[in-house]
Structure 1
Amino acid sequence: MSQVENIEQPARPWWKLPPSSELPPSVNTLLSLAITLALVAVLILAIGANPWEAAKAIIEGSLIEPFFLGQTLMIASILALTGLAAALPFTSRLWNIGGEGQMFAGAIAAVALGIELPSGTPKVLFIAIVIVGSFLGGAIWGLIPGALKAFYGASEIVTTLMLSFVAVFIANYIISEVWPDPFSQKTVSIAENAKFPTIWDDGTVDISVIIALAAAALAWLLMAKTSLGFSIRAIGANPNASRLAGVRTRQVTMLTFLVAGGFAGLAGGVAVAGIFDDLDLNFSSNFGFIGIAVALLARLKPPLIIPAAFLFSMLRVGSNSLQASADISPSLGDILVATFVILLMVTGAIRFRYAQNVSD
């Protein structure tokens, strides 16, 4: 009988990061943020600017003044909703890359209802209709790739992404042909009674924040306390075993995309009725795609979506002050976000680790 020899493992090189399992996610996240700041500081020095002034501009431009803090909270609301739109399908091994398109679908529904419904509709009823309508708009747009995946096996990565382009095209047509504003590239404003009421005047924060918090709570209840949530988690843990256990994968796939699309549609409704009061083709600064990073940073857990969205919102909103405060292009904020996401994956703060299939 051969004996297993104890072979001493070589030491890990100093430059190689330890496996993510050796460090808690919070440490990995802080490590990623520290490396990102260091790399961006080197970049800022290379272009002849002051890194400290840039950091100060981002913090002051996102947290210090009430107006800037309010903007951070409002953008975080959108990112939380698009993060939920990515988190639910990802939990079930389904890739929803089309949060951007689903958000546009919700925005189209919101602006259509906000313009076409009688302006004298009671405010509470009007707002409720806009919220439900934007959810349904995104849900229908999400259901299309869900049905194609369930019945035809079509790649949800391709269908969700391509449908995003279709939604943007429809939005462009509506802006230019259906309800055009005569003075700019946007639609006319929605009715006054359709606009979300403000809950913090100094920060111009409206009920969008409450909607995002309620959506995260509902997503948690769905995933933790319902049979649909159990089925979503079961498929993500082991698709083959879940089928043998009787989980109806087609129905779960369609419902998952329907709910996820609804959350993204709500983000579009928030943008129309809560921030811009109209549909502007440039209303989204890739919020649908940033939502993917939000979901991954939150490790697909709805309660963690909120702080993850706030962090990305702070980086995005704060970068808008770079031009005035530090004489740096605001596009540095995009570099900051992209570098942060890449390093989150390198350090293991963002990762997928599914169980092996029965057939593997």
Structure 2
Amino acid sequence: MSEGSGGEGAADTKLSDQAAATRGSRDGLARLNVLAAIRHGDILGSILLTVAVMAIIVVAFGGNPWTVAKTIINNSLAEEIFLGQTIMTAAILILTGLAAAIPFTARLWNIGGEGQMFAGAVVAVTLGIMLPEGTAHGLFVLILIVGAAAGGALWGSVPGVLKAYFGINEIVTSLMLNFLAFFAANYVVTVAWPEIYAQLQSQEIHDNAHFPDFWASAKVDISVFIALAAALAAWVLITRTSLGFSIRSVGANPRAARLAGVRTRLVTVSSFLTAGAAGGLAGAVTVGGIHHDLALDLWISNYGYVGIAVALLARLNPIAVLPAAFIFSTLRVGSNSLQAAAGISSSFGEVLIATFVIMLMVTGAIRFRYAQH
């Protein structure tokens, strides 16, 4: 009798274990499905949360959310000249977005896109003024582009080398180098080649150094192709090369990558070099393509810092940086006339971008917490 009871008990235990395993599998599958939904929905959720928060703020200040939205769209996309401004601003943000996305992929935090852009701009304006005016147009533009990229890469390599060989925090060094780059730009503007008829800007570069127009009536030049080529090159680097595999490996698990023989120092320096080159190209676009000089008010444009937001929205994907940059460019350019049209400060676009980044981090944190449990 006891043997029969023992056999029945064992059978019951086995059945209960199988049932528990089945429930566990279902729960695990359900959790993965929910997690996948959160992963794909956190950007949409961030957008919806941002729209809701901004609508509340606009109403609180006596504005009309619909008027604000319509003004932003009309002043960034509806007219040819506005669309041109949006495209050119997007070109800069693509490049500064890449300057953040590439090292971020390796869990290296480049906050120095602003300084790398200024370093490239300093080199570009120096070459644009010092080289002989009779230099062939195509050659002049090529020298300016390559020189700016090299200047940005050199500037970007500093935090990379300090991180790789001395263990110095790259956030601090890349951030501090932003201010040093601004001082270098200040020297160019106020001492080396000041414009005597205007304050806080340099002399204009030679006409042969101006980037050729692509869409003249909208004031769009080859800067857009420079940005597109840089994004494509970054995508190939990250997804199709051994260095890109090493960058992704370090980003996924630095310790495991090191144990597997990945040269982490090389990854660190290379990531910052590449990021700096992208930032330097942004400087070339501002000098050779948009302004044709170096103005210190470029500092308040915060292109380098907005590039971080672009990289986050793009999930560090170099191709996704393109639409992300265009979205933020639309917000920036479209917000310029809000004061007159809707009684809202023209800095509303910056507030929108900042709010979106915060909401993106919140939804990302929710996803991470759910994954942990």
TM-score normalised by structure 2 residue count: 0.87
Could you tell me which residue of structure 2 aligns to residue 65 of structure 1?
A: 79
Aligned positions, number = 345
Q: 1:157 to 1:293 in 2, by over 3 A?
A: same
Q: Which sits farther off after the overlay, 35-44 or 93-102? A: 35-44
Q: Find the counterpart in structure 2 of residue 14 from structure 1.
A: none
Q: 1:1-360 to 2 correspondence within 5 Å?
A: 21-25=36-40, 27-182=41-196, 183-284=198-299, 285-348=301-364
Per-residue CA distance 1:179-238 (angstroms, 9 max, x = gap): 101122100100101111111122111111000000000001111111111111111112
- Seen in structure 2, the aligned counterparts of structure 1 residues 178 and 277 have a Cα distance that, compared at 3 Å, is same
Matched residues in 1 for 2:328 and 2:285: separation? 18
| 3-state SS, counterpart of residue 199 of structure 1 | strand
More helix by share: 2
Task: Provide the C-alpha distance between the structure 2 equivalents of 1:350 and 1:274, rounded to a whole number of angstroms.
Answer: 42
**Alpha carbons of 1:317 and 1:86: their partners in 2 closer, same or farther (altered >3 Å)?**
same
What residue identity is the alignment partner of 1:104?
Answer: F
- Pairwise CA distance, 1:24: 4.7
The answer on whether the counterparts of 1:72 and 1:310 sit within 8 Å (CA) in structure 2 is: yes
Q: Secondary structure at the match of 2:42?
A: helix
Q: Which amino acid aligns with 2:307?
A: G
Query: Is the 1:87–1:301 Cα contact (8 Å) retained in structure 2?
Result: yes
Matched AA of 2:347: S
- The RMSD of aligned alpha carbons is 2.4
Q: Is the 8 A contact 2:335 2:346 kept in 1?
A: yes
In the aligned structure 2, how far is the partner of 1:204 from the partner of 1:196?
Answer: 11
Structure 2 distance, partners of 1:113, 1:351, is 48
Give, as a single letter, the amino acid of the residue that structure 1 aligns with 2:281. L
Offset at residue 28 of structure 1 (A):
2.7
Q: Specify the alignment match of 2:30 in structure 1.
A: none
Contact 2:114/2:303 (<8 A) preserved? yes
For 1:134 and 1:352, the matched residues in 2 are separated by 39
Superposed displacement of residue 78, structure 1: 0.6
Distance of 2:165 and 2:46 partners within structure 1: 41
Cα distance in 1 for residues equivalent to 2:206 and 2:73: 35
Q: Is the 8 A contact 1:70 1:204 kept in 2?
A: yes
1:139 counterpart SS class = helix
Amino acid corresponding to residue 191 of structure 2 in structure 1: E
Q: Which runs of 5+ in 2 are unaligned?
A: 1-9, 24-32
Contact kept, 8 Å, 1:297 with 1:349, in 2: the verdict is no
Quick one: distance in 2 between partners of 1:291 and 1:300? 11
The CA distance in 1 between the partners of 2:69 and 2:255, in whole Å, is: 49
Q: In the superposition, relative to structure 1, how do residues 351 and 219 fare at CA in structure 2: closer, same or farther (>3 Å)?
A: farther
Deviations 1:146-191 (A, max 9, x none): 1111110000000000111111111112111111011221001001
Which structure has the larger Rg over C-alpha atoms? 2
> Cα deviations across residues 300-319 of structure 1 (Å, max 9, x unaligned)?
11110100110111111110
Contact 2:200 2:295 in 1 (8 A): yes
Range with bigger deviation, 325-334 or 134-143: 325-334
Do the aligned partners of 2:39 and 2:367 also contact (CA within 8 Å) in 1? no
Determine helix, strand or coil for the equivalent of 2:168.
Answer: coil
Question: Counterpart amino acid of 1:172?
Answer: N
1:112-171 Cα offsets, whole Å, 9 max, x none, are 000100111001000000100110010000011111111100000000001111111111
Q: Which amino acid aligns with 1:240?
A: R
Task: Measure the CA separation in 2 of the matches of 1:102 and 1:77.
Answer: 16
Structure 1 counterpart SS, 2:319: helix
Shift of 1:244: 2.0
For the residues of structure 1 that align with 2:354 and 2:269, how far apart are their CA atoms?
Answer: 31
Q: Distance in 1 between matches of 2:346 and 2:189?
A: 27
Identity %: 59
Q: Secondary structure of the equivalent of 2:214?
A: strand
SS at match of 1:348: helix
> Structure 2: how far apart are the matches of 1:83 and 1:351?
23
Q: State whether residues 83 and 295 of structure 1, in contact with CA within 8 Å, keep that contact through their aligned partners in structure 2.
A: yes
Amino acid at match of 1:347: T
C-alpha offsets along residues 17-68 of structure 1, whole Å, 9 cap, x if unaligned?
Answer: x97643353x332332222222222212222222221111100011111111
